[in-house]
Structure formats: C-alpha cells, structure tokens
C-alpha cells in the first residue's frame, strides 16, 4: 500500500513538473514569436523596398496564429490577451493600407513594437528564474531569445523610421548577446551529442549573417537575415520543447 502511494505521488509530481515545463515553453514562445511577428512585419511593410516579399507576410501570420494558440493555452490571462487583440487589429490595419499609402506604415509598426515589448515584459515576469541551475530546455530557450532579440533589433534598425523614433540595442548589448549566443550554442553542442548536428546548423546559419547583425549601420532590411535567424529561432524552440517533455 505504501509503495502504491509512493508511486502515485511520483506520477503526480512528474505530471506537475511536465505541466510546469510546458507553461514555461509557452511563455517563452510569447517572447520569440512576438519578436518574429514584428521582424517579418518590418520586412514586409517597408516603404523603402520596391517589392513586398510574400514569404514575410506568411511568416507574420504563422507567428500571429501561434501567439493566439499560446495565449489560449495559458488561459487567456490579461493583459497579454489584450496585447494580442491589439496586435491582430494593428496587423489588419497594416494589410488594408494600399502600397500607395506606405508612409502610414511606420507609426503602426512602432505601435506593434511597443505591444511586442509589453508582451515580452509580461512573459519575462512570469518566467522569473528561481535561482536553480538552468535545465537544458532553459538554456535552449535562452539562446533562442538571444537570437530573436538580435534579429528584431537588426530589422528595426534597418527600417526607415525617423531618427529617434526607435531606440535599438546599444553596440555593447549586441556584442554581449552575440557572445552569449555563440558560447551557449557551443556548450550545448558539447554537452549533448544527440543535438549537436541540429545545433551546428543553427550556429552555422547565424555565423553566415553575423556581420550584418553586428554592423552599426545595417543595410536595408534583408530577407536573407530573416530566413537564417527565423529558422534558427524556431529550431531552438522546437528542441527546447522536445527535451522538456
């Protein structure tokens, strides 16, 4: 009887631990997918580019739909549910604008960026670390977050905002994120041979566009940077979800 009770308690503990891990993953994806939404939107709704890339629009919708799913799975808590609704309305407003009125894109995108930051701050408050040693899933999420911050900063700095409208990362912050990302990926590769190949692909993609990411004066918004880093962010999130199961 005592053994049965212990087994039941162990099962309940494992179930609770798994549920907690899933919540952490969902909260984390509010950060990365909101970043990817904004990054793709900045690329697609850029008045300086001659043509709009339909892949950026599709990527924006993928991120927006996944955000909606994660908010539902988290129980639609406020204020993040309100942030999502505002993001959805803003995105519809952007899509309704004809290209001839592209000068109206920047103020709408600035509002989208502010909402992204508010959603990110809320998620980070829920994810506050308890001081315990980081798990592999948490380390993967940290590297995904580093990459998402660098990508969004790059696309926002490349966008034709009026000077002072957008405050990006300082050069020292970009360099710190770059170092943390690369060192973290190498440690994760060394620590787990089963993930080494997938992590190696992520790292290779990042190194391919690294010079553009770290440039003080980035060129115009790049679909190439978006492609490599967005793929890496999604791959890291998927790896984190797998090891956290």
Question: pLDDT tens-digit profile of 34-74?
Answer: 999 999 999 999 998 888 889 999 999 999 999 999 999 99
- Predicted local distance difference test score (pLDDT) of residue 163: 75
Q: How is residue 96 written in tokens?
A: 């309704």
Q: Which range among 155-164, 185-194, 232-241 shows the weakest confidence by mean pLDDT?
A: 155-164
Instruction: State the distance between the two ends of the chain, measured CA to CA, in whole angstroms.
Output: 29
- Measured CA to CA in angstroms, residue 45 lies from 1, 85, 101 at distances of 65, 20, 11
Residue range 128-146: average pLDDT?
Answer: 83
CA-CA-CA-CA dihedral for 65, 69, 152, 136, to nearest 10: -140
pLDDT at 8: 29
pLDDT at 149 > cutoff 70: yes
Res 91: pLDDT: 96
pLDDT of residue 219: 67
Residue 169 has pLDDT above 90, yes or no: yes
| 105 within 8 A of 90, measured Cβ to Cβ | no
Please report the pLDDT score of residue 245 as a whole number: 67
Q: What is the pLDDT of residue 49?
A: 85
Q: Residue 156: which residues within 8 A CB-CB, separation 6 or more?
A: 38, 42, 113, 166, 168
The arithmetic mean of pLDDT across residues 199-222, rounded, is 88
pLDDT at position 177 over 70: yes
Residue 77 buriedness (CB in 10 A; 0-12 / 13-18 / 19+): exposed
Say what percent of the chain tops pLDDT 70.
Answer: 88
Residue 178: CB atoms within 10 Å: 17
Task: Label residue 5 by pLDDT band (50, 70, 90).
Answer: very low
Contact 136, 191 (CB under 8 A): yes
Mean pLDDT of the chain: 88
| This prediction's pTM | 0.89
Other Cβ atoms less than 10 A from the Cβ of 229: the count is 26
């Amino acid at each position: 009887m005592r053994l049965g009770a212990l087994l039941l308690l162990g099962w309940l503990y494992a179930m609770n631990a798994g549920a907690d891990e899933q919540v952490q993953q969902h909260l984390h994806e509010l950060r990365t997918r909101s970043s990817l939404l904004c990054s793709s939107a900045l690329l697609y709704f850029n008045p300086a580019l001659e043509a709009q890339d339909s892949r950026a629009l599709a990527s924006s919708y993928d991120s927006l739909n996944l955000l909606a799913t994660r908010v539902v799975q988290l129980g639609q808590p406020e204020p993040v549910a309100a942030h999502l609704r505002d993001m959805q309305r803003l995105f519809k407003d952007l899509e309704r604008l004809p290209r001839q009125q592209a000068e109206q894109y920047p103020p709408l995108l600035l509002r989208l960026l502010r909402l992204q930051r508010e959603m990110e701050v809320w998620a980070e408050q829920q994810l506050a670390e308890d001081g315990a040693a980081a798990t592999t899933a948490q380390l993967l999420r940290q590297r995904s977050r580093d990459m998402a911050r660098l990508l969004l900063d790059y696309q926002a700095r490349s966008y034709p905002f009026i000077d002072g409208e957008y405050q990006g990362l300082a050069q020292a912050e970009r360099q710190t994120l770059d170092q943390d990302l690369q060192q973290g990926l190498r440690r994760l590769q060394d620590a787990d041979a089963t993930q080494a190949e997938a992590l190696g692909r992520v790292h290779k993609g990042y190194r391919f566009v690294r010079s553009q990411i770290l440039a003080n004066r980035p060129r115009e918004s790049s679909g190439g940077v978006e492609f490599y880093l967005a793929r890496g962010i999604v791959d890291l999130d998927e790896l984190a979800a797998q090891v956290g199961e």
